[in-house]
Structure 1
Amino acid sequence: MIPLLAYRDNSCDPKKCSVKKLGRLGYVRVVDSLKKIPKSSLILDPNAKQALSPADKGVPSITVLDCSWEVLDDIVVRTWPLRRALPFLVAANPGHFGRPCMLNSVEALAATLWILGEEEQATEILARFGWGMRFLEVNAEPLREYAAARDSAEVVAIQECYL
């Protein structure tokens, strides 16, 4: 199991916060400062220049930026050693259902785990949400293809088929 972290800036709606729930259940360690995240952790950043791929297997931990989309650009992680963007996937959460590339934090963590070959851990965290398994159903084909890719360039090429 890969340790999961979440940097929360409290800009999202606390009643709808999926990471708070995972934190309460012990699946995610929630931190309120970037200084509390190990520099070796893979940061999920939609603004990263490199796509996540199976070549990233072996990371010591995964960190999601749990914040509102409106403040994402204000969180300074541009100099982080290991930043990756997720490839094209469709949200299944109630707030963004059916919207491409608008995943919530739990979907982002689950997609990352799936692509890195940790399907059981991905399924386990998604199972805590009524809509969770729907995310895997909606994205079954691209997740399978991304997980079979060799590297970031191949993931980007696969993604092009969905755009």
Structure 2
Amino acid sequence: MWDFDHCDPRRCSGKKLSRHGLATQMRVGQRFRGVVLTPKGKKPIAPCDDEVIMLSGLAVVECSWARLDEVPFNKIKGPHERLLPYLIATNPVNYGKPWRLNCVEALAAGFYITGHADWAEILLAKFSWGHAFYKMNGALIERYRTCHTHEEVDAMQELIQQERQEEYDRAKAEKGECTPWSKG
């Protein structure tokens, strides 16, 4: 992981993984040949990324969501930059927020999606709330696992978001709240 020291070291999931020997810190500018999970990726991680992960590993950028503009993403590029698809954070800082995963959640998601549930569970086991990640996101992860390519994961993510929006709209309508298209 590339660590930008944005977090409280006692609460930082990336630093905790390093303390347990489960992550290695890299220098800015250091090349990484594996899959890099970054908000600057163009394609989502997909099961087809498994071969690259097996050969070269999985990396993440340890930084604050509130300070993304301070991160020199141009200096931490890799040949396999990936986004995470729609998943929901279960960490104490961003609980319930879509796409606001911390480092351990991001790494675990990458491992789950590429078929390495055992690796994901080893990482998550170091956190008291870690069990909640798969509990909340398991159905989504399993749907992403049915895909093969980045394009299929993109399409699945769009379908999931559409279904969630429809559920939200239906629940709102059942409560008697007006939707924009039902206002006389």
TM-score by length of 1: 0.90
Query: What's the secondary structure of 1:108's corresponding residue?
Result: helix
Aligned equivalent of 1:35: 29
CA distance in 2, matches of 1:110, 1:89: 11
Query: What's the secondary structure of 2:73's corresponding residue?
Result: coil
- Identity across the alignment (%): 36
Query: What's the secondary structure of 1:90's corresponding residue?
Result: coil
Higher helix share: 2
> Structure 2 residue aligned with 1:107, among 105, 121, 128?
105
Aligned equivalent of 1:22: 17
Shift of 1:79: 5.1
Aligned equivalent of 1:3: none
Aligned equivalent of 1:147: 145
Matches within 5 A, 1:53-72: 53-59=46-52, 60-72=56-68
Larger radius of gyration: 2
Shift of 1:72: 2.3
Judged with a 3 Å threshold, the aligned counterparts in structure 2 of structure 1 residues 79 and 16 are, in CA distance, closer, same or farther, namely closer
Shift of 1:150: 1.0
Answering whether residue 2 of structure 2 is matched by residue 10 of structure 1, we say: no
Aligned equivalent of 1:157: 155
CA distance in 1, matches of 2:141, 2:158: 14
**1:20-57, Cα deviation, whole Å (9 max, x unpaired):** 111111111122x233342x121111221111101111
CA distance in 2, matches of 1:118, 1:67: 24
Matches within 5 A, 1:116-155: 116-155=114-153
**1:87-123, Cα deviation, whole Å (9 max, x unpaired):** 0000000001101110000000000000111110001
CA distance in 1, matches of 2:143, 2:2: 29
Aligned equivalent of 2:44: 51
Alignment gaps of 5+ in structure 1: 1-5
Aligned equivalent of 2:176: none
Letter in 1 for 2:116: E
Query: What's the secondary structure of 2:142's corresponding residue?
Result: helix
TM-score by length of 2: 0.80
Number of aligned positions between the proteins:
156
Shift of 1:145: 1.1
Aligned-residue RMSD, C-alpha: 1.4
